[in-house]
Amino acid sequence: MLPLRPSPPHLSISPPVSKAQQRLPTLADFPPDKIRNFACIAHVDHGKSTLCDRMLEMTGTIPPAAVSRDQPEQEAKNEQVLDTLKVERERGITVRAQSATMFHRHSDGAEYMLNLIDTPGHVDFASEVLRSLLASQGVILLVDAAQGVQAQTLTVLDEALKRNLTVVGAVNKWDLVKDDGRGEAVLSELSDLLGCAPSDILRISAKTGWGVDSVLDAVVERIPPPPPRASEDVKEPFRGLVFDSWYDSFRGVVSLVSVFEGEVKKGDSITSTITGNDYTVLDLGILSPREISIAEHPDAHSRSLRKGMAGWVVRRSGPDVRSNRAAFLGDTFHLTSAPTPPLESFKPLKSMVFAGIYPLDPGGFTKLEEAIRRLTLTDRSVTSNRESSTFLGQGFRLGFNGSLHMDVFRQRLEDEFGEEVIVTRPLVPVKLTFKDDTERTIDNPADFPDPGGLLKVVRVQEPMIRATIVAPDEYTGAIINLCTSHRGVPLSHTYLSGSAATSTATGTSTALKPRVTMLYSLPLSSIITSFHSSLKSISSGFASFDYEEAPYEDSDLCRMNILVNGQKVDALCTVAHRSEVQKEGREWAKRLREVIPRQQHEVVIQAAVGSTILARERIAPFRKDVTAGLYGGHYERKMKHLAKQKAGKARLKERSIGRITIPTEAFHAVLGGQEVKRKGQAADKDKRKKH
């Protein structure tokens, strides 16, 4: 039985909002030319979610936030209403693309249905952006007026252009623009990038709401409606693309469908093109942003999801309606009676960062398995396979798009399912070529053969990335040093167009410093831990970073084992570059020394590559003063007692090899990077101080 979790509004287990609770317009009044489907895309923190809040408020989709009684003078605002997950609110980032339907009366007097998707900005959640673009005909590309075009701006724009989507550019945070020409410089930078006139770029402040009405109008005027029917005479049967899914404890899998052709209503029998299974539509509706059922809409013509609309569908029957197989993102549904070919789909990005996930509670495997199954339903870019460890028992090897993705998944397991887990050290996939010319890609360090083993590895390759770093020119030196220390190779170095030069030409003095775009080839493994935070700190937060996959390259990687009293601890072994392995080995031996409790016998911790020991730490045993009860100078008796104690400890140590007990909490601490003192260590130190 799964724990009930605090659900975000549209994942709510309560029934959808009924027509009595929310007045719905007559949906039949919105033919495809009165519908616009668009996504908000931008670099991290450029204000996508805030803009979505303002649009939802201005269109009356959500009520304006109540003014606080304590501070009535302060204007209250809804904050990131589409960021519904706890992890999103705590970290202030969007991790899941969220949709909402709103109704906007344009200045021409006509009312339009706008289906908006708020997307994440971080590169680890790029899969979410990709699926959102499939259900859109256009995008709003936001750029922060203070930061200008950043690395992720370039990537998301590239994705939108690849799909021939209409791009509406907007410079956000205009309230922060001073009279120094900086805003104008960003404006011209963005217009250069989009190849349009600076006057086509919108100036807005999502925070205050200034200029947001112009965004709503631009969506109507510039973003095209869903493509029209091939011929008015031909009746199109229903065809819809599943672009999101979630699990509801009572209703099973709920799918968000973008209707490309025809219409679907309650009671229809629909078929999945991937599984071939048939289902009956039990309920359906729109997200606004809560689920609103339209199955019983007062207007009989408004009870269906029609061409151009995006809405949720709950299905009944079908053998797998409660399993993940019922909810393939990118699946096409059609009417069972009118089969159609599948729509253009998308593949989630390949997992590139793998880690073992084990329940903290050794008996919690089944519960963890169910929680992972439910979570992967809403996050299809996570891959999952079972594995087991001598020390941690049964668990899973999960694959993620990046280390932030991994950390967010771990936190969601905890927030939404109460699952505390141990996450082993992340590893990127490594390609091995053996002496007999066979090749194998591994994602678990335990599969990397030790030198001297039976399997001879003749070639090791690791995945590379092509990193784009955008930063003010003054940080170039520090960034080059950082990339070099992470085994990076420079590819190019160019100045961003627009900015200073353009503004000077127009006679405006500008405070926007010249900025460079640096392209680097870096090993993926070198950026999954601290690269991003180091980049932020050396550039005072001004550098932005993004990357795309590049082919594998030869690398001098080796497997580093951690041994406790000579025994390999499988959960701690790792694969690292030979140039870094010594430093890593020392760090890990030290950290383990901090967390393994003192025992009756000596504990020796070693880091080793094959038979070469790189680092050694020792935890002294407890020692009872066996001579305390003796009086005077009975030297022989003292020695006899000490020798007896020594022999006893040696016997104990012999017996203990092979069954070293490392508490699960110690793994949790050492892998979670927490500073945990060994039990009794602080007390020992205090005692020593007193003496």
Ligand X SMILES: Nc1nc2c(ncn2[C@@H]2O[C@H](COP(=O)(O)OP(=O)(O)OP(=O)(O)O)[C@@H](O)[C@H]2O)c(=O)[nH]1
In whole angstroms, what is the distance from residue 568 CA to residue 573 CA?
8
Whichever of 27 and 44 has its CB closer to ligand X, that residue is 44
Q: Which parts of 39-78 interact with ligand X (CB under 6 A)?
A: 42, 44-50
Compute the least distance from the CB of residue 218 to ligand X, in Å: 17
Q: Answer yes or no: is 119 a known binding residue.
A: yes
Query: Which residue type sits at 187?
Result: L
Q: Answer yes or no: is 297 a known binding residue.
A: no
Beta pairing, strands 35-42 & 138-144: parallel
What is the x/- site pattern for ligand X, positions 313-332, by CB under 6 A? --------------------
Q: What's the gap between Cα 621 and its chain centre?
A: 44
Compute the least distance from the CB of residue 539 to ligand X, in Å: 18
Whichever of 52 and 309 has its CB closer to ligand X, that residue is 52
Q: Answer yes or no: is 46 a known binding residue.
A: yes
Q: What's the gap between Cα 136 and its chain centre?
A: 22
Q: State the DSSP code for 364.
A: -
Residue nearest to ligand X (CB): 121
Is 80 a binding residue for ligand X by CB under 6 A? The answer is: yes
Strand-pairing partners, residue 544, are: 470
Whichever of 81 and 292 has its CB closer to ligand X, that residue is 81
What is the x/- site pattern for ligand X, positions 535-574, by CB under 6 A? ----------------------------------------
3-state secondary structure of 579: helix
Whichever of 142 and 614 has its CB closer to ligand X, that residue is 142
Rounded to 10 degrees, the C-alpha dihedral 56/59/62/65 comes to 90
Compute the least distance from the CB of residue 240 to ligand X, in Å: 27
Is 172 a binding residue for ligand X by CB under 6 A? The answer is: yes
Whichever of 383 and 411 has its CB closer to ligand X, that residue is 411
Beta pairing, strands 421-423 & 574-577: unpaired
Q: Which parts of 81-110 interact with ligand X (CB under 6 A)?
A: 92-94
Whichever of 50 and 403 has its CB closer to ligand X, that residue is 50
Is 121 a binding residue for ligand X by CB under 6 A? The answer is: yes
Which of 38, 58, 54 is CA-nearest to residue 205? 54
CB 145 within 8 A of CB 181: no
Compute the least distance from the CB of residue 40 to ligand X, in Å: 8
CB 518 within 8 A of CB 471: yes
Q: Answer yes or no: is 49 a known binding residue.
A: yes
Compute the least distance from the CB of residue 537 to ligand X, in Å: 19
Q: How many chain residues bind ligand X (CB under 6 A)?
A: 21
Buried b (16+ CB within 10 A) or exposed e, 8-29: bbbbbeeebbebeeeebeebee
Is 502 a binding residue for ligand X by CB under 6 A? The answer is: no
Whichever of 9 and 621 has its CB closer to ligand X, that residue is 9
What is the x/- site pattern for ligand X, positions 198-217, by CB under 6 A? -------xxx----------
Whichever of 214 and 645 has its CB closer to ligand X, that residue is 214
Compute the least distance from the CB of residue 49 to ligand X, in Å: 3
Q: What contacts 585, CB < 8 A, 6 or more positions away?
A: 560, 607, 608, 609, 614, 615
Compute the least distance from the CB of residue 170 to ligand X, in Å: 10
Q: Answer yes or no: is 120 a known binding residue.
A: yes
Which of 406, 395, 396, 410 is CA-nearest to residue 362? 395
In angstroms and rounded to an integer, the radius of gyration of the C-alpha atoms of the chain is 30
Is 124 a binding residue for ligand X by CB under 6 A? The answer is: no
Compute the least distance from the CB of residue 206 to ligand X, in Å: 4
Give the containing element (helix H, strand E) for 313: strand 310-316
Q: Answer yes or no: is 44 a known binding residue.
A: yes
Total residue count of the chain as it appears in this document: 691
Compute the least distance from the CB of residue 103 to ligand X, in Å: 23
In whole angstroms, what is the distance from residue 517 CA to residue 538 CA?
16
Using the rule CB under 6 A, give the single segment among 16-24, 56-64, 167-175, 441-449 that binds ligand X: 167-175
Please, what is the Cα angle at 555 between 550 and 559, to 5 degrees? 120
Q: Answer yes or no: is 118 a known binding residue.
A: yes
Burial of 410 (0-12, 13-18, 19+ CB in 10 A): buried
Cα→Cα distances 461→466, 512, 579, Å: 16, 42, 15
Q: Answer yes or no: is 42 a known binding residue.
A: yes
Compute the least distance from the CB of residue 686 to ligand X, in Å: 44
Whichever of 85 and 603 has its CB closer to ligand X, that residue is 85
Compute the least distance from the CB of residue 80 to ligand X, in Å: 6
Q: What contacts 139, CB < 8 A, 6 or more positions away?
A: 38, 39, 40, 41, 133, 156, 160, 165, 166, 167, 168
Beta pairing, strands 202-203 & 166-172: parallel
Whichever of 268 and 546 has its CB closer to ligand X, that residue is 546
- The label of the residue with tokens 């159609």 reads 340
For 439-530, where are the alpha helices, taking DSSP H only? 476-485, 499-505, 524-527
Among 33, 175, 556, 686, binds ligand X (CB under 6 A): 175
Q: Answer yes or no: is 70 a known binding residue.
A: no
Greatest CA separation found in the chain?
114
Whichever of 119 and 255 has its CB closer to ligand X, that residue is 119
Q: Answer yes or no: is 48 a known binding residue.
A: yes
Which of 596, 583, 600 is CA-nearest to residue 668? 596
Q: Answer yes or no: is 477 a known binding residue.
A: no
Compute the least distance from the CB of residue 383 to ligand X, in Å: 24
CB 469 within 8 A of CB 479: yes
Is 173 a binding residue for ligand X by CB under 6 A? The answer is: yes
Beta pairing, strands 239-248 & 202-203: unpaired
Whichever of 144 and 331 has its CB closer to ligand X, that residue is 144
In whole angstroms, what is the distance from residue 148 CA to residue 141 CA?
12
Using the rule CB under 6 A, give the single segment among 100-108, 159-167, 170-178, 601-609 that binds ligand X: 170-178
Is 176 a binding residue for ligand X by CB under 6 A? The answer is: yes
Q: Answer yes or no: is 634 a known binding residue.
A: no
Binding residues are: 42-49, 118-122
Residues contributing to the site for ligand X (CB under 6 A): 42, 44-50, 80, 92-94, 120-121, 172-173, 175-176, 205-207
Binding residues for GTP are: 42-49, 118-122
